Amino acid sequence: MPHREQSHRSAMQLISTALYLYRPRWLDATCYAQPIMRILGNIAGLRVQTASLKVGEQGRRYDPGALRAVAALTLDDGGVTGWTAEGVRVDDVHHRDHPRTKYRGENGISVGFSAHYATMRAHFGEHLIDGIAGENILVNSSRMIGLEDLSHGLLIRRGGALVARLHEIVVAEPCLPFSRYALGGADDEQSVPTVKAALTFLREGCRGYYAGYLGAPAIIQVGDEVLLP
């Protein structure tokens, strides 16, 4: 019996080896292929909001004055913290732990794309410069990025090494103050239909997205590569 079992094992090993050696080559491209990552572009800018950008009576007016460009961001599960090139810390008002936090659960990290700004400028005017909508991370992109493109999140890479992964990406719905700002006129000069049309145009990710982050704190920098997994 032991001799018979050994012979059986040897025969099975020969069969397995033959099946591998004479396998159809298309199996290598399907079963053993590595996931393909698509490069979107590089991080063009990083910003924090030191205070709310909705100011005035009942927050009716949009004022980008509290935006600060930074050289790097620390990502953690509560949002972002900015760092200047000199190493000075700049806190973001949407971070969960900020003493006057505007954190709602999904808005700790925000992402925008340069192609979206080009689309907004073509529609509203040149005053909508890159970064004016206040996103933390601005990515250079050659096309509009839809929510379906972001269903598996975003990867951030530096020097070939993965730095961070953003997940649970959702649309950042436009607010009335930013829509009025995009229109470029005083509040009393804008009709209700005009403002509603602006809101509609800025929806579905045109204005940008919110993202989540899990894991140990990670530092991202201007110039880092952004990919679709």
Averaged pLDDT for residues 148-158: 97
- Mean pLDDT of the residues in the chain: 88
For the domain covering 38-228, report its CATH number: 2.40.33.20
Q: How much is the pLDDT for 188?
A: 61
Q: Domain boundaries in the chain?
A: 1-33, 38-228
With a threshold of 0.85, does the pTM exceed it? no
**Secondary structure element (H or E) that encloses residue 192, with its range:** helix 192-202
At 27-79, the pLDDT tens digits run: 344 343 445 789 999 999 999 999 999 998 877 899 999 999 999 999 999 99
Rounded Cα–Cα distance for residues 222 and 210 (Å): 19
Rounded Cα–Cα distance for residues 99 and 16 (Å): 64
Rounded Cα–Cα distance for residues 207 and 171 (Å): 8
Rounded Cα–Cα distance for residues 218 and 108 (Å): 14
Percent of the chain with pLDDT over 90: 77
| Chain-centre distance for alpha carbon 161 | 18
